[in-house]
């Protein structure tokens, strides 16, 4: 039996704006699509006590994350009438103000695209083994908690 190739969702560093724009533009040729929903996660410069977050250094158990993402993708495709799902998550250091998560869903109608995008974001945050170490201005760090 042929082994399924897992889609790599990881991107080194921040996700550039031109990559996001190119992803959207590539879908113009598919005229059956009537809606796209996009979520962009951006690193916040939170104030934590006497220090501020300057960036987040993301790490992951990549093999497990890709397997879990494949499972989530299949679940969401079964639940909603989608044309496509794209997910990209940063690994490594992402500075405050930069994009670290890009979730993009497409469908014939807006409700499916919007609902699927929201569910994907929540499941990614809750289920994927990805960790963020917040780098602080006082040269310390702390592990980020997803809320």
Per-residue pLDDT at 142: 78
From CA 131, how far away is CA 34, in angstroms rounded?
35
| Between 143 and 62, the higher pLDDT residue | 62
Q: Do residues 126 and 118 make contact, with C-beta atoms less than 8 angstroms apart?
A: no
| Domain layout of the chain by residue ranges | 10-143
- Predicted confidence band of residue 1 (pLDDT cuts 50, 70, 90): low
Per DSSP, the three-state class of 129 is coil
List phi, psi (to 5°) of 65: -65, -40
Per-residue pLDDT at 143: 83
Averaged pLDDT of the chain: 94
Identify the CATH class of 10-143.
alpha beta
From CA 117, how far away is CA 114, in angstroms rounded?
5
From CA 57, how far away is CA 2, in angstroms rounded?
35
Per-residue pLDDT at 84: 95
pLDDT per position as a tens digit, 95-106: 999 999 999 999
Per-residue pLDDT at 89: 98
pLDDT per position as a tens digit, 39-76: 999 999 999 889 999 999 999 999 999 999 999 999 99
Per DSSP, the three-state class of 15 is coil
Q: Is the pTM of this model over 0.85?
A: yes
Q: Do residues 125 and 47 make contact, with C-beta atoms less than 8 angstroms apart?
A: no
Q: Token pair 């960790």 is at which residue? A: 131
pLDDT at 91 over 80: yes
Going by their DSSP bridges, the two strands 99-107 and 130-136 should be labelled as unpaired
């Amino acid at each position: 039996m042929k082994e399924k190739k897992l889609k790599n969702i990881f991107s080194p560093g921040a996700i550039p704006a031109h990559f996001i724009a190119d992803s959207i533009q590539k879908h113009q040729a598919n005229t059956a699509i009537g809606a796209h929903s996009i979520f962009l996660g951006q690193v916040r410069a939170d104030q934590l006590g006497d220090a501020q977050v300057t960036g987040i250094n993301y790490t992951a158990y990549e093999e497990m994350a890709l397997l879990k993402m494949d499972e989530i993708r299949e679940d969401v495709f079964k639940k909603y009438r989608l044309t496509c799902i794209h997910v990209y998550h940063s690994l490594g250091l992402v500075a405050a103000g930069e994009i670290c998560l890009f979730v993009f869903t497409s469908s014939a109608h807006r409700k499916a695209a919007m609902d699927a995008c929201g569910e994907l974001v929540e499941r990614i945050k809750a289920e994927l083994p990805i960790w963020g170490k917040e780098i602080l201005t006082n040269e310390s760090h702390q592990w980020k908690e997803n809320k």
